[in-house]
Structure 1
Amino acid sequence: MTRKTVRIAMNGVTGRMGYRQHLVRSILALREQGGLDLGDGTVLWPEPILLGRREHALRQIADRHGLAHVSTDVDAVLADPTVDVYFDAQVTSAREGSLRKAIAAGKHVYTEKPTATGLDGALELARLAHGRGVRHGVVQDKIFLPGLIKLKRLVDGGFFGRILSVRGEFGYWVFEGDWQSAQRPSWNYRAEDGGGIVVDMFPHWEYVLHELFGRVKSVQALATTHVPQRWDERGKPYDATADDAAYGIFELEGGVIAQINSSWTVRVNRDELVEFQVDGTEGSAVAGLRKCRAQHRGATPKPVWNPDVPATEAFREQWQEVPDNAHFDNGFKAQWELFLSHVHADTPYRWDLLAGARGVQLAELGLKSSAEGRRIDVPEITL
């Protein structure tokens, strides 16, 4: 067995997502399992280089996990020929410029989304990476969740018959930050810093809908700011200039209609923080982060509307749990493994910067739809 070191510059690991999901639960988890076995006698050994603006915070993380490499000089790290991959989990407004530098330096790039603040920038990144000949990938973690893997299994197996509609509910109450601390950083609620739930979540909905049901053909959305004032990490009040809730209707290829509500101002009355209900002529299913329940046509009850008497049926108990039938690893780690295999073994990989640009496009058109109060077509984009 040959061990090959892959050096990964990781920018943004002091943030919650960059630290927990990408560094700890993905890269360090790969090291704990002995590396990534490519199946050809080669094991990839990931060696992270922690990048960021706050050296003290980076060194704390490095000391906590026994890591050797820390830097606040992105340009110097990108100039290092031993660095193979650049990963970006910074705030959205800082991402595009850093990715451009990494591509120009000939590094393979893997990045959180959205990849840029607008479609033009996102498409240009895809074109630059293609022209430079580097491998490129965008985090699309939701499709690697156990609940959606099970849902995809039902779709691929023809369980639904003709799929009619998709209903999605996502969100939770994010505290304003005055009497209880907020669970999300304050920049999420400032449009000038790249915040907003449309920018954050519509790229997710694009790839979930695209992968499972078909390309989004049109969008009609209403984005709003329900909570106009919040308190930042220092306890100071600020004006929330970005949308904290969005209500979208998406028309998909093949005639499927999807409705998805996204909100940071909703209290949870569902089993999981995100759930999708899919209804088809032959059956229906409800999928969350981990679980998926289904009801076939032959097992569908016949409710009768009668508001004069209390309901006697326990409707939620009439659905069947979809079994795991497999071991589900952390979704972020699973996609990291696929991307690193793509970089070093040329395995197929489709979640690239062009796929990321589709997400940016949907967010951009969703905001335009909300501003203009109309449905907007979503054209196909290419390099």
Structure 2
Amino acid sequence: MAVHQIGIIMNGVTGRMGTNQHLIRSIVAIREQGGVPLTDGDVLMPDPVLVGRNEQKLKDLANRYDIPRWSTRLDECLADSHNQIYFDSQTTVRRADGVRKAIEAGKHIYCEKPTATTLEESLELARLAKKAGVKNGVVQDKLFLPGLLKLKRLIDAGFFGKILSVRMEFGYWVFEGDWQEGQRPSWNYRKEDGGGIIVDMFPHWRYVLDHLFGSVRSVSCLGVTHIPQRVDEKGKTYDCTADDAAYATFELEGGVIVQANSSWAVRVNRDDLLTIQVDGVEGSAVAGLRDCKVQHRAHTPKPVWNPDIENPFDFQDQWQSVPNNEVFDNAFKIQWEKFLKHVFRNDPFPWDFLEGAKGTQLSDLGLQSWREKRWVDVPELNI
């Protein structure tokens, strides 16, 4: 058995998502399990170098997770031929510049979404990467969540018959920061810093809908800033210039209708922070992040509207849970392993920069629909 070291520049890893999902639960977890096993018995071992602007944070992370390499000098890391992959989880407004530098340095690139703040810039990065011949990928983690994998299993098995509609509810109450500290960084609520729930979440909804139910063909969206002021990490009150909620309808190829509510100003009264209900002629399902429950047509109750009597049905109790039938790993880690094998052995990896650009496209069109108060068609993209 041979162990193949693969150097990875991890830029922006001191942020919440970069630290928890990409460093601790993905790269550190892969190292602790002994690397990524390959079909021939060899192993891929990630060798990260942590990159950022805060030297103390980098030192602390490196010491805590036994990572020998860290740096505040991105250009030096890009010049090191040992580093084959550049990963970016910086704030959205900084991402495109880092990715451009990595393309120029000939690195393979894996990054968080959105890849850029506009469609034009996202497509530019896709074209530059293609021209340079570097492999590229975008994080599309929700495809690998247990709940959505179970949903995909149902779709592949033909459980729904003809799918009619999808209802998505996402969000939770993000505290304003005055009497309780907010759970999200303050830049999320400033448009000038790349914030906004449409920019943040519509790229997720694009790949979820495209890969599970059919390509998005048109969108109608209303954005809102429900909370006009919040308190930042330093205790300073600031004006919220970005949307914190979006109420959208999507029409998919094949006629499936999707209603998607996204909000950081909603209190949760559902099974999970994200729930996706799929209704088909033969049956329905509701998937959360980890669980999925179903109701077949043969088990569907027959309620009659009568508000003058007590409801005789326990609707929640009439659904069945979809069994696990497999061991589910961390969604981010699964996609990291796939990208590492894509770089080293050219295994298939369909979630490239063009797929990332589709997410940015839907964000842009959602904002346009809100601004112009109308339905907007979603044209096909190519590079």
Matched, 1:101 2:101: yes
Deviation, structure 1 residue 203: 0.2
After TM superposition, the structure 1 = structure 2 runs for residues 338-353 of structure 1, keeping only pairs within 5 Å, are: 338-353=338-353
Deviation, structure 1 residue 13: 1.0
Partner in structure 2 of residue 222 of structure 1: 222
Deviations 1:231-262 (A, max 9, x none): 00000000000000000000000000000000
Aligned counterparts of 2:347 and 2:69: Cα–Cα separation in 1: 29
Aligned counterparts of 1:122 and 1:38: Cα–Cα separation in 2: 32
Partner in structure 2 of residue 241 of structure 1: 241
Give the root-mean-square deviation of aligned CA atoms.
0.5
Deviation, structure 1 residue 41: 2.8
| More divergent stretch after superposition (183-192 vs 31-40) | 31-40
Mark the runs of 5 or more structure 1 residues left unpaired by the alignment.
none
Deviation, structure 1 residue 82: 1.1
Aligned counterparts of 2:259 and 2:128: Cα–Cα separation in 1: 34
Partner in structure 2 of residue 119 of structure 1: 119
Give, as a single letter, the amino acid of the residue that structure 1 aligns with 2:311: A
| More divergent stretch after superposition (234-243 vs 126-135) | 126-135
Deviation, structure 1 residue 79: 1.0
Matched, 1:264 2:264: yes
Deviation, structure 1 residue 11: 0.6
Aligned counterparts of 1:39 and 1:345: Cα–Cα separation in 2: 10
Three-state SS of the structure 2 residue aligned to 1:323 is coil
Deviations 1:246-303 (A, max 9, x none): 0000000000000000000000001100000000000000000000000001111101
Deviation, structure 1 residue 68: 0.9
Partner in structure 1 of residue 2 of structure 2: 2
Partner in structure 1 of residue 134 of structure 2: 134
Deviation, structure 1 residue 90: 0.3
Aligned counterparts of 2:238 and 2:36: Cα–Cα separation in 1: 45
After TM superposition, the structure 1 = structure 2 runs for residues 344-383 of structure 1, keeping only pairs within 5 Å, are: 344-383=344-383
Mark the runs of 5 or more structure 2 residues left unpaired by the alignment.
none
Aligned counterparts of 2:98 and 2:315: Cα–Cα separation in 1: 51
Deviations 1:162-216 (A, max 9, x none): 0000000000000000010000000000000000000000000000000000000
Give, as a single letter, the amino acid of the residue that structure 2 aligns with 1:238: Y
Aligned counterparts of 1:42 and 1:87: Cα–Cα separation in 2: 24
Give, as a single letter, the amino acid of the residue that structure 2 aligns with 1:356: G
Partner in structure 2 of residue 281 of structure 1: 281
- Runs (4+) of structure 1 exceeding 3 A deviation are none
Give, as a single letter, the amino acid of the residue that structure 2 aligns with 1:101: K
Give, as a single letter, the amino acid of the residue that structure 2 aligns with 1:364: D
After TM superposition, the structure 1 = structure 2 runs for residues 244-323 of structure 1, keeping only pairs within 5 Å, are: 244-323=244-323
Three-state SS of the structure 1 residue aligned to 2:250 is strand
Deviation, structure 1 residue 229: 0.2
Deviation, structure 1 residue 81: 1.1
Give, as a single letter, the amino acid of the residue that structure 2 aligns with 1:250: F
Q: What's the TM-score once normalised by structure 2's chain length?
A: 0.99
Give, as a single letter, the amino acid of the residue that structure 1 aligns with 2:83: V
Three-state SS of the structure 2 residue aligned to 1:130 is helix
Deviations 1:302-351 (A, max 9, x none): 01000111111100100010011111000000000000011001111100
Three-state SS of the structure 1 residue aligned to 2:75 is helix
Partner in structure 2 of residue 189 of structure 1: 189
Aligned counterparts of 2:214 and 2:42: Cα–Cα separation in 1: 37
Aligned counterparts of 2:132 and 2:37: Cα–Cα separation in 1: 28
Partner in structure 1 of residue 27 of structure 2: 27
Aligned counterparts of 1:105 and 1:40: Cα–Cα separation in 2: 31
Deviation, structure 1 residue 14: 0.7
Deviations 1:56-97 (A, max 9, x none): 110011111111111111111111111110000000000001
Aligned counterparts of 1:22 and 1:60: Cα–Cα separation in 2: 16
Give, as a single letter, the amino acid of the residue that structure 2 aligns with 1:334: I
Q: What's the TM-score once normalised by structure 1's chain length?
A: 0.99
Partner in structure 2 of residue 110 of structure 1: 110
After TM superposition, the structure 1 = structure 2 runs for residues 56-95 of structure 1, keeping only pairs within 5 Å, are: 56-95=56-95
Three-state SS of the structure 2 residue aligned to 1:361 is helix
Three-state SS of the structure 2 residue aligned to 1:45 is strand
Aligned counterparts of 1:79 and 1:27: Cα–Cα separation in 2: 22
Three-state SS of the structure 2 residue aligned to 1:221 is strand
| More divergent stretch after superposition (58-67 vs 352-361) | 58-67
Three-state SS of the structure 2 residue aligned to 1:84 is strand
Three-state SS of the structure 1 residue aligned to 2:329 is coil
Three-state SS of the structure 2 residue aligned to 1:365 is helix
Aligned counterparts of 1:132 and 1:55: Cα–Cα separation in 2: 32
Aligned counterparts of 2:104 and 2:251: Cα–Cα separation in 1: 37
Residue identity over aligned pairs, in percent, reads 64
Partner in structure 2 of residue 179 of structure 1: 179
Give the number of equivalent residue pairs. 383
Aligned counterparts of 1:198 and 1:310: Cα–Cα separation in 2: 40
Three-state SS of the structure 2 residue aligned to 1:317 is helix
Aligned counterparts of 2:74 and 2:50: Cα–Cα separation in 1: 10
